[in-house]
Every structure is written in structure tokens, then in C-alpha cells.
Amino acid sequence: MKAIVIHAAHDLRIEDRTEVQPGKGEVQIRLATGGVCGSDLHYYNHGGFGAVRLKEPMILGHEVSGHISALGEGVSGLAIGDLVAVSPSRPCGTCEYCQKGLHNHCLNMRFYGSAMPFPHIQGAFREVLVADASQCVKADGLTAGEAAMAEPLSVTLHATRRAGEMLGKRVLVTGCGPIGTLAILAARRAGAAEIVATDLTAQTLKFAETVGADRTINLSDDPDGLKPYTAGKGYFDVLYECSGAAPALAGGIAAMRPRGVILQLGLGGDMSVPMMAITSKELDLRGSFRFHEEFATAVRLMQAGLIDVKPLITHTMPLAEAEQAFIAASDRTRAMKAQISFS
């Protein structure tokens, strides 16, 4: 079978790997679609992010869907041919954090396509994937592309849970890539009354408008676009910071009202934080990292038609053109979500 393997920055190869049969409690999946994520792009463009660096070749990918092709012993509830969304989250279930229900902080996490541990955790961009049956959520009624969007949608659903009460809140989203636009969808579904989105490109802001932002501000054209929201100690109750850029965080904090909640989703490396403003406004700065149980909810929301991710899927390219998908995904003026077709 073919797999997409990163060796170093800009050294992406399609290589042969051995096809594996499912064991007890496992299923074999013929991959249908894989989405190129921001972390995949960090490996492709920079060989890693922050202190996380590639130390060996690694199969990329963790936003995937496919069809069940074989069942291991003891698997029930799934059938050959089922379309499934595959969660990349594989906590051990036994460490202290798993026992406390904090599965996304598992001490022995095996998250597809991660160079955080060594040896690296190999990813899911391969024609045939063996996964635990518990990772699979039936995605009937969805396209393979929609099913592959369950993973990034889960990230924003987890962040929305971290925010707490959302009904009637005024929300600011900084950074309108895939996570930012999905955050708009998640916040609206949770009851946000007003959503304002900022970015530096007109193209991304068009997508923010498409998915329901009430107003968009291009801070490249209008650097003071958030200034009106800073009057009277601020305007917004919740900030989804999805860019990972210090200026975006600082600008967003200035527009927050006292006792608002800041959700930091963007992972651009360490950055300075305006602590005096956070302290004087009594703001809550909350990290939001990955997800776990939200994955099945993401699939069900899409199946019920309550969240529509289709407008965000801008490119679908065949496996043979995988690198072109990475190049497209790296260009925010061209692509929102680039996906790779494995079938």
C-alpha cells in the first residue's frame, strides 16, 4: 500500500508500506479521504513546530475517513463497507489523567502523525489503516470529505465546552483558517448572539462570512478595526484565538470585557501575553488542546444538518498529487481545507 511520508521540510514522499490485518477489537479501513491539517503543514514547511522536530521519517495525517474492509475478532456494531470517521485520539485509558476523564491529556497518548514522542507516532495517510474499533464513528449520510472534517470540528467543539455558557454571548474569532471558521460554526450552534471575525486576508474572511460571522474585519487593511470594541472596558465575552500570533491575542484582549473568557487554540509557538490587561480585567485565559469525546458529537452534528462543513472544503486531490495538496493548503489565498482522495 502507499503512504504519505515526511522526511524533512519540503521532503514529502509517497512510499510503499506493508498492509496490516486487524487484530482483536480492531478494524481494517480502506482510506477514502484525508484532510491536510495545520500541524501537517508545520512538518512539511518547517520540519516541525516549536521544540517538536522530526527525528525520523513519519507518515503524516490525522483527519481521515474510510470504509471498513475487514473486522477483527470481537468487533460489533460495524460492518464491512461502512463509511467511518476515524478519531486519531488513542488514549491509554489507564493513566491518572484518563482515569480522571481527561483523555486528551493521556500520558501515553498515541495521536496519529505526531513527532512529540520518539519513536514518532505514525500517521493515518495510508491507503489501508488498521484502527481500534472504538476510534470509528459511523458516518452514513455524509460524504467522505465531510466525515474527514470531524477531527478539526472536534477541536472547536472541545474549545466551546471549555468556554462554558455561550448562550447570548458576544464572540470574537481571531484567525479564520479552518479552525477559526469551524469555531464560528461551533459558537453559533452553542448559542452565540454575535460573532466578529478578524484575519489578514480577504479570502479567509469571505469563508468566515459564509459560515455565519456577523461582521469581519481585515486587520491588514484596517489595523485599528477592533478599536471601537475597546471602549468602556471592552465588548466581547469570549475570544477564540486561532492564529497563534501574539498581536492577534493582544488585540483581542483589548476588546474583551471584564471577566471574559479567552480560548487559545492557535499553536504558533510561545508568545508574549499582556498579563496586566488580563489581571485588571479579570479575564480567564484557557488553553484548549485536542479533544476526545467530542469526536462522535461532531459526526452527529453534521449528520443532523446542524453544522455544514462543505463550504470549507476547497480542494480535493488524488494521492498521486499529495504534495500539490500540501502546497495548496499552505496558500491561504487559494485554499481553506485541502483534502487528499485515497480511493
CATH number of the domain bearing residue 260: 3.40.50.720
Identify the pLDDT of residue 99: 96
Whether 37 is covered by a domain: the verdict is yes
pLDDT per residue as tens digits for the range 228-259: 999 999 999 999 999 999 999 999 999 999 99
pLDDT per residue as tens digits for the range 207-224: 999 999 999 999 999 999
Whether 83 is covered by a domain: the verdict is yes
Whether 292 is covered by a domain: the verdict is no
Domain total for the chain? Answer: 2
Number of helical (H) and strand (E) elements in the chain, helices listed first: 10, 18
Taking Cα atoms as reference points, which of 199, 167, 161, 163 lies closest to residue 180?
Answer: 199
Identify the pLDDT of residue 19: 93
CATH number of the domain bearing residue 41: 3.90.180.10
Mean pLDDT by 10 residues, the chain (343 residues): 97 95 97 95 91 94 98 96 96 96 95 93 97 97 98 98 97 97 98 98 96 97 97 97 94 98 88 93 96 96 98 97 96 93 93
Question: Which residues, in sequence order, are bridge partners of residue 15?
Answer: 3
Q: How many CB atoms lie within 10 A of CB 293?
A: 15
Taking Cα atoms as reference points, which of 289, 332, 290 lies closest to residue 312?
Answer: 332
Whether 304 is covered by a domain: the verdict is no
- On whether both 139 and 60 belong to a single domain, the answer is yes
Q: Is the pTM of this model over 0.75?
A: yes
User: Which residues form the domain of 210?
Assistant: 154-287
Taking Cα atoms as reference points, which of 65, 63, 60 lies closest to residue 122?
Answer: 60
Identify the pLDDT of residue 343: 85
Q: Assign 3-class secondary structure to 11-63.
A: EEEEEECCCCCCCCCEEEEEEEEEECCHHHHHHHHHCEECCEECCCCEECCCE
Whether 102 is covered by a domain: the verdict is yes
Identify the pLDDT of residue 139: 98
Residues counted in the chain: 343
pLDDT per residue as tens digits for the range 287-298: 999 999 999 999
Whether 81 is covered by a domain: the verdict is yes
The most distant pair of C-alpha atoms in the chain lies apart, rounded to whole Å, by 63
Q: What angle do CA 109, 112, 115 make, to 5 degrees?
A: 80
Whether 299 is covered by a domain: the verdict is no
Whether 79 is covered by a domain: the verdict is yes
